[in-house]
Amino acid sequence: MHVGLMIYGSIETLTGGYLYDRKFCEFLASQGDRAEVISLPRRDHLLRALADNASPSLIRQVAGAPFDVLVQDELIHPSTVLLNRRLRSKARCPIVTIVHLLRSSERAVRLRRLSSSTERRYLAGVDGAVFNSETTRAAVESLLGRRLPGVVSYPGGDHLAADAADASEAKIAARARAQGALSVLSIANVLPGKGLHVLVDALGHLPAEGWRLTVVGSLTMNRAYAARLRGLIESTGLRDNVDLVGAVPNSRVADYLRDSHLLVVPSDYEALGIAYLEAMRFGLPVIATTAGGAGEIVGHGSEGFLVAPGDAAALTAHLRLLGEDRELLLRMGLAAQGRAARHPTWRESFEPARG
């Protein structure tokens, strides 16, 4: 089977969505299929993206390829919402979308009404979908007002399984019970929607000697926000407590997970959260938000905690509790590891999508 995959930018980009797309291509290759990536220039404005629909070269490139199936990362919907109608008469193959999250589900969306109507029209024009969570499926069907044929293929829980193989119960217990500051990790590109300013605010209400925060993720995707976050850290006197590492290769992520007590990513919205699964594999409890699908893998009070987006006071309370009660930290860590071990692998997740 020859599969075309349309995305924005490089598939090697270090985000959860691109990791999902890479794993999808790897799975297809393992089944003897051929996946061909068609990369569109990344657009920073909805109106510029809409102009792609009139591109003769893009139409020729896609329509001229002998694909059996054309798969599109849903985030490119502004560039293909009208183009797909033209492809119907030229390409004559099914169009399937991979939905990571709806743009219209995010809090900070410019031109919200136009964005929602564009996304709705795009989804109404595809033949089927691969959803990364039940929450995402529900959001799509709510926007459409009807069911969209498709399957839920969760991100695999085995991305860092080999690296986490030595995360034994004894090691998790030793880490939790060790004397010293609570080591908080956030694996997130430094973007407004990841809620890192809320996390810094929450930690700032705890004694400085009781915690350390490490943020692993790109500092260049939104330089203005990164500068704002640095300013907040400086103005609150937390420079010695917070380490903004920047982007690192996937091979190094495991090192940070081994050395941390818990993962906190208080996003405005997270369709599921691959970083949560990665952390849980290493026996780390997770603090996430109630906005999105994190609750599908993190039980509040079991594998971690769920807070409302922007609720710094709730974050402070949970962080204080886990810093003071290391046995609770341990129980939650072991529960998280068990939950991740039961989660489907990438192969198990993608098999229904291919079938």
Per-residue pLDDT tens digits for 86-112: 887 776 789 999 999 898 777 665 656
Residue 108's pLDDT is 60
Residue 42's pLDDT is 85
Residue 159's pLDDT is 84
Residue 109's pLDDT is 58
Residue 161's pLDDT is 86
Which among 25, 79, 24 has a CA at the least distance from the CA of 52?
A: 79
Which among 100, 107, 57, 50 has a CA at the least distance from the CA of 80?
A: 50
What residues in the chain have per-residue pLDDT under 50? none
Furthest C-alpha separation in the chain: 67
Contact 265, 244 (CB under 8 A): no
Per-residue pLDDT tens digits for 147-173: 999 999 999 999 888 888 999 999 999
Q: What angle, rounded to 10 degrees, do the helices at 134-144 and 112-124 form?
A: 100
Contact 199, 313 (CB under 8 A): no
Q: What would the 3-class secondary structure string for the chain be?
A: CEEEEEEECCCCCCCHHHHHHHHHHHHHHHCCCEEEEEEECCCCCHHHHHHHHHCHHHHHHHHCCCCCEEEEEHHHHHHHCCHHHHHHCCCCCCEEEEECCCHHHCCCCCCHHHHHHHHHHHHHCCCEEEECCHHHHHHHHHHHCCCCCEEECCCCCCCCCCHHHHCCHHHHHHHHHCCCCEEEEEECCCCHHHCHHHHHHHHCCCCHHHEEEEEECCCCCCHHHHHHHHHHHHHCCCCCCEEEEECCCHHHHHHHHHCCCEEECCCCCECCCHHHHHHHHCCCCEEEECCECHHHCCCECCCEEEECCCCHHHHHHHHHHHHHCHHHHHHHHHHHHHHHHHCCCHHHHHHHHHC
Q: How far is Cα 260 from Cα 254, in angstroms, rounded to an integer?
A: 10
CATH numbers and ranges of domains, the chain: 2-153 (3.40.50.2000), 163-342 (3.40.50.2000)
